[in-house]
Amino acid sequence: MRTKEDFAELLRRLHLGPQEQAERLSFLQWSAEDAQRLAAMAGAMDPAQQAFVDQLYDHLQNFATPAALLQSPQTIERLKHSQGSYYQDLWRGQFDEEYVNGRLRIGMIHQQVGLELKWYLGAYRLYLDRMLGELFTGHPQHQLYASLLKAVFFDISLALDTYSAAQHRALEDSEARFARALRGANDGLWDWHVEQDRLYVSERWASMLGISREAIGDASQGWFSRVHPDDLPGLRQAIEAHLQGRTALLHHEYRMRKRDGDYAWVLVRGVAEASGPDQQRMAGSQTDISARKSAEQHLQHAARHDPLTGLANRMRLDEQLQQALLRQGKVGAREAALLFVDLDRFKLINDSLGHAVGDRVLVEVAQRLKACLRPGDELFRFGGDEFVVLLDDLACAGDAERVAQRILDGLHHPLHLDERTLVVNASIGIAPLQERGKPLDALQAADLALYRAKAAGKAQFARYSEELQRAAQHHLDMESAMGQALDNGELELHYQPICQLQQGQVQLAGVEALLRWRSGERLISPLEFIPALEESGEIVRVGDWVLQQACRQVRAWQLAGQSQLRCSVNISSRQLQQASFIPRLIDILQDSGLPPASLILEITESQLMEDTAQTLVSLRELASLGVRLALDDFGTGYCSLGYLKRFPLHILKVDKSFIGGTPADGELSAISRAIIGLGHSLGLEVVAEGVERDAQLDFVRHEGCHYAQGYWFSKPLPGAELQALLGRPGAFAGAVAALPEVFARSSSTLPRSRVQQ
């Protein structure tokens, strides 16, 4: 029992202010004379009162309920004593604040010990009866008035009962309404006296956890001890923030331990209210939100995982990377690295075997990748055929390379899908999360390294380095500088003769237009800038310009006498993919007047493979125009021989890397021989590229190559220089022009070209 606090609360509830007290006394017609009258008799009444107190306690013993409360003689003595002093006070007639509080306190204690009002009131009647006897003994109406008192007191007790029953009923109604509403809301209720740490929770509050209210107890410990340890600080903070007025409402989600040891997610809502100076009281509801939480978690999972492979996705990678970087920032952290894994030529599988097979391959690859990792490593599907591995806690940087190698080995085993057997390879870029103690954009760095691994021939890994970064930067700079090159007139075309080899004769048959970039003093090779042009897409505009220039130039030479001169122009697959390419080519041919049959479009083997369906359509259309098509750099691009038949090709250009090895290198000679033979058997014209030396010319001629190109004849020259060469007296007489002196002799007797060394 907390009498002091309860009494304070009782006072607050009663609103028994001075005005109310005055009004009551006035209704009773209480006056100063009354007080004087009583006080004057107080002493004289004392013995009778004392006698009455004894009589009262004897009387009470006759009734079971009060008798039960009055068992110890000491209690009875104490009560009698205070009862006696009370009567003395009553006769003093001083109804001040102290008096009123004293009465209220006694009333409250009686109520708390369980003494019903009827005994309490009844005692007053007995007292009045006794006082009546004392004052009016022998008066004829004494008995009558005593009877009236009994009747009135009986009624008083009835009136009190009706009042309190009605109040009770209203309270019960409101409680029942409240209870029904709560059952509907299915929320638990709580009420917490913060300073006194007195907690009340409803049945429902406890049953959410599968326990009874008793198990919670009546202190906050019963609540907080069930909160998930990870959530407890957050809950306490939320409560504190609200108690300090920093939040308008307590609204917090956290987990609570259930009877079976599992945790339920709950939402607590509540408001605080000052119940007195330094007295805070908070109350509110608690809702079981486990179902919602699990749906949310499900969604969260779905947003962060790839449905096909079940792996975490890019979103999750971003989060995990952030965390890994934070860990890296701590002292003593071990190395961490990112592997960017990209399948080689996966598009081919998708295009040729369909997406369903492609999907199965991805699922299998995901399994294999997982099998290559340690428990702490994390695997993500980045998108398409790209996977990322986050390697945390590495003993040394070299470990990442070991994992990469393990992945390459693991993937390399043939993959059996139904009756089909596939070999899937991947390229991997490796980057540390930090470089020299500074965080790196590891994803970008690993991507860069991946690019490098691909460029170096695929099915391998490459590690990020600053040098790679510099090269990429250079590439980027090149790209932006190239953007202006065409408009600034910095591009020019050089032309390299292509000669026909016929019975000991070499004759000029055509020229290949080769692009040059004059940047300041430097003349930059297309090998350096073509990739940048292709990546930026600028190749489309530049290629258009090349085509136009070359057609015009060769047509001019044709008109000047080289009527059979053919014009070879390199094109990129990006150009072929443009729907406008063919109409534009027709325009150029018409404008320049060059016959379509004089134009040879060269496309490299690797580019031909890039977008086969679309490329095939364009090439067929080109062929139908009468334009000739050459497969450039043949032998370097893994072209499957089946493809050669599918494309409408006329010319095969044997790459200079093979010809350069002839005839000394037996292997390269054998490959060159085989390629030339292949071209022949497919009915294609064969051009040998990169003929530099007599022995090479002898070799290709001996193998029956129709055409050759290389420094032996001439380096690529600016148009004007080549023109000067062509314009030598007697150089272009006849239908098929004999070459100028330098070209016109049989190669075996011919000294090396003096035209350009």
What gap in Å lies between CA 430 and CA 465, rounded to an integer? 9
Residues 525, 614, 624, 746: which binds ligand C2E (CB under 6 A)?
525
Is the CB of 231 or the CB of 535 nearer to ligand C2E? Answer: 535
711 binds ligand C2E (CB under 6 A): yes
The residue range among 199-207, 240-248, 269-277, 596-604 that interacts with Mg ion, by the rule CB under 5 A, is 596-604
602 binds Mg ion (CB under 5 A): yes
Residues 692, 694, 698, 721: which binds ligand C2E (CB under 6 A)?
692
What gap in Å lies between CA 241 and CA 679, rounded to an integer? 84
Q: How many CA atoms lie within 13 A of 327 on its CB side?
A: 16
297: left (phi over 0), alpha (psi -120 to 50) or beta: alpha
Is the CB of 602 or the CB of 685 nearer to Mg ion? Answer: 602
Residues 129, 378, 632, 685: which binds Mg ion (CB under 5 A)?
632
690 binds ligand C2E (CB under 6 A): yes
Q: Show the binding pattern over residues 531-560: x = contacts ligand C2E (CB under 6 A), - = does not.
A: ------------x--x--------------
- Apex 312 CA angle, 310 and 313, nearest 5: 110
Cβ pair 518, 486 in contact under 8 A: no
605 binds Mg ion (CB under 5 A): no
Name the packing angle between helices 3-14 and 97-113 (round to 10°): 120
Q: Which of residues 671-700 bind Mg ion (CB under 5 A)?
A: 689
**Cβ 681 to ligand C2E, closest distance in Å?**
23
What gap in Å lies between CA 30 and CA 24, rounded to an integer? 9
**Cβ 604 to ligand C2E, closest distance in Å?**
6
Residues 570, 573, 618, 669: which binds ligand C2E (CB under 6 A)?
570
Contacted by 711, from ligand C2E, Mg ion, none: CB < 5 to 8 Å by type: ligand C2E
The token duo for 139 is 């008066």
The token duo for 482 is 């190239």
Is the CB of 287 or the CB of 572 nearer to Mg ion? Answer: 572
Residues 385, 605, 633, 685: which binds Mg ion (CB under 5 A)?
633
Q: What is the dihedral of CA 33, 36, 39, 45, to 10 degrees?
A: -50
Cα distances (angstroms) measured from residue 744 to each of 157, 502, 730 = 143, 11, 11
DSSP category for residue 305 = B
Cβ pair 348, 273 in contact under 8 A: no
The residue range among 175-183, 299-307, 526-534, 613-621 that interacts with ligand C2E, by the rule CB under 6 A, is 526-534
Q: Where are the alpha helices (DSSP H) in 208-251?
A: 213-216, 221-224, 232-243
Residues 226, 566, 628, 656: which binds ligand C2E (CB under 6 A)?
656
Count of positions on this chain that bind Mg ion (CB under 5 A) = 5
572 binds Mg ion (CB under 5 A): no
The residue range among 27-35, 402-410, 567-575, 642-650 that interacts with Mg ion, by the rule CB under 5 A, is 567-575
For 194, phi then psi, to 5°, come to -65, -55
What gap in Å lies between CA 554 and CA 226, rounded to an integer? 89
Q: Show the binding pattern over residues 505-524: x = contacts ligand C2E (CB under 6 A), - = does not.
A: ---------xx---------
Residues 385, 633, 685, 703: which binds ligand C2E (CB under 6 A)?
633
Q: How many CA atoms lie within 13 A of 656 on its CB side?
A: 10
Residue with tokens 């004293």: 102
Is the CB of 448 or the CB of 547 nearer to ligand C2E? Answer: 547
261: left (phi over 0), alpha (psi -120 to 50) or beta: left
**Cβ 710 to ligand C2E, closest distance in Å?**
3
The token duo for 69 is 């409360």
218 binds ligand C2E (CB under 6 A): no
Closest CA to 340 of 401, 412, 429: 429
What gap in Å lies between CA 446 and CA 459, rounded to an integer? 15
335 binds Mg ion (CB under 5 A): no
Contacted by 190, from Mg ion, ligand C2E, none: CB < 5 to 8 Å by type: none
Is the CB of 209 or the CB of 697 nearer to ligand C2E? Answer: 697
Name the packing angle between helices 355-371 and 398-412 (round to 10°): 140
**Cβ 530 to ligand C2E, closest distance in Å?**
5
Contacted by 716, from Mg ion, ligand C2E, none: CB < 5 to 8 Å by type: ligand C2E
Is the CB of 101 or the CB of 525 nearer to ligand C2E? Answer: 525
Cβ pair 687, 653 in contact under 8 A: yes
Cβ pair 41, 75 in contact under 8 A: no
632 binds ligand C2E (CB under 6 A): yes
Is the CB of 403 or the CB of 687 nearer to Mg ion? Answer: 687
What gap in Å lies between CA 726 and CA 742, rounded to an integer? 11
Contacted by 368, from Mg ion, ligand C2E, none: CB < 5 to 8 Å by type: none
Q: Which of residues 592-631 bind ligand C2E (CB under 6 A)?
A: 602, 604
**Cβ 513 to ligand C2E, closest distance in Å?**
6
How many residues in the chain? Answer: 757
520: left (phi over 0), alpha (psi -120 to 50) or beta: left
Interacting residues with Mg ion (CB under 5 A): 570, 602, 632-633, 689
Interacting residues with ligand C2E (CB under 6 A): 496, 514-515, 525-527, 530, 543, 546, 570-572, 602, 604, 632-633, 656, 689-692, 709-711, 716
